[in-house]
């Protein structure tokens, strides 16, 4: 089970238009710094606002760029060739939450979770048999709200339940039917037994936990 950002994130990368993380000592401070870019017309354009990037890397202030000029600059135009070539570059091309089925011999088949799951991130996954049919079901929680304002929030998840139908098929149970309605950035989900009743604890960041009791 691979939790990811989902497909509702502002940057929306894919294989043709990746988001890239560039790592180098851009301010020549000998400390590693990170710049995130996205692909626009085959150019790697920083996603941060001018003030954010110049505060992080003061050497850029010497260029005296106007905001409208900065908005058109690629990272290759902001830094010299030596800096670009010496940078560590990581690419993001896929943001869907999914299952990677191990087919053996180092081969995996990827199947994405239903569209409702992709509306937000998946941060926590619990695998357990919900309905007692002997098949492992999935309970998930998500949301990420710590981004800078220009990226908005990923907060459309209230918890997900997927019942295992066999043959790699899943039945999505919405919140109205499951009764699960959790808010916040869920970081973990645990199942505990209290007085012979199964309970599910959703643990959000900086908030009180939610507890749901499974009805038989």
**Angular region, 143: left φ>0, alpha ψ -120 to 50, beta rest:** left
Has residue 84 got a pLDDT over 90? yes
Has residue 216 got a pLDDT over 80? no
What digits encode the pLDDT tens for the residues 160-209?
Answer: 999 999 999 999 999 999 999 999 999 999 999 999 999 999 999 999 99
Considering 45, 68, 92, which residue would you say is the last residue of a domain?
Answer: 92
Same domain, 85 and 34: yes
Residue 63: pLDDT band (50, 70, 90) is confident
Whether 127 is in a domain gets the answer: yes
In a 10 Å sphere around its CB, with 0-12 CB exposed, 13-18 middle and 19+ buried, how is residue 166 labelled? exposed
pLDDT of residue 19: 97
Same domain, 109 and 206: yes
Map tokens 């970081």 to a residue.
Answer: 187
Specify the pTM: 0.87
Whether 9 is in a domain gets the answer: no
Q: CA 212, CA 201: separation in Å to the nearest integer?
A: 7
Average pLDDT, the chain: 94
Whether 70 is in a domain gets the answer: yes
- The full length of the chain comes to 216
pLDDT of residue 25: 95
Has residue 28 got a pLDDT over 90? no
By residue range, what is the domain housing residue 24?
19-92
Whether 189 is in a domain gets the answer: yes
Tally of domains in the chain: 2
């Amino acid at each position: 089970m691979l939790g990811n950002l989902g497909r509702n994130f502002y940057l929306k990368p894919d294989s043709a238009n990746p988001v890239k993380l560039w790592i180098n000592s851009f301010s020549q401070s000998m400390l590693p710094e990170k710049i995130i870019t996205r692909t626009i017309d085959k150019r790697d354009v920083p996603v941060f606002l001018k003030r954010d990037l110049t505060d992080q890397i003061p050497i850029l202030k010497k260029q005296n760029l106007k905001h409208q000029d900065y908005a058109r600059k690629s990272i290759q135009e902001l830094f010299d060739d030596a800096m670009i070539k010496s940078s560590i570059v990581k690419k993001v091309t896929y943001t869907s939450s999914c299952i990677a089925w191990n087919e053996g011999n180092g081969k995996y088949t990827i199947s994405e979770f239903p569209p409702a799951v992709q509306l937000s991130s998946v941060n926590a996954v619990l695998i357990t048999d919900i309905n007692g049919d002997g098949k492992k079901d999935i309970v998930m929680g998500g949301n990420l709200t710590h981004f800078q304002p220009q990226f908005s929030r990923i907060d459309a998840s209230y918890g997900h339940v997927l019942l295992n139908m066999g043959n790699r098929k899943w039945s999505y149970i919405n919140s109205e039917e499951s009764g699960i309605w959790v808010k916040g950035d869920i970081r973990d989900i645990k199942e505990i037994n209290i007085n012979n009743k199964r309970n599910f604890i959703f643990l959000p960041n900086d908030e009180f936990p939610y507890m749901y009791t499974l009805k038989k």
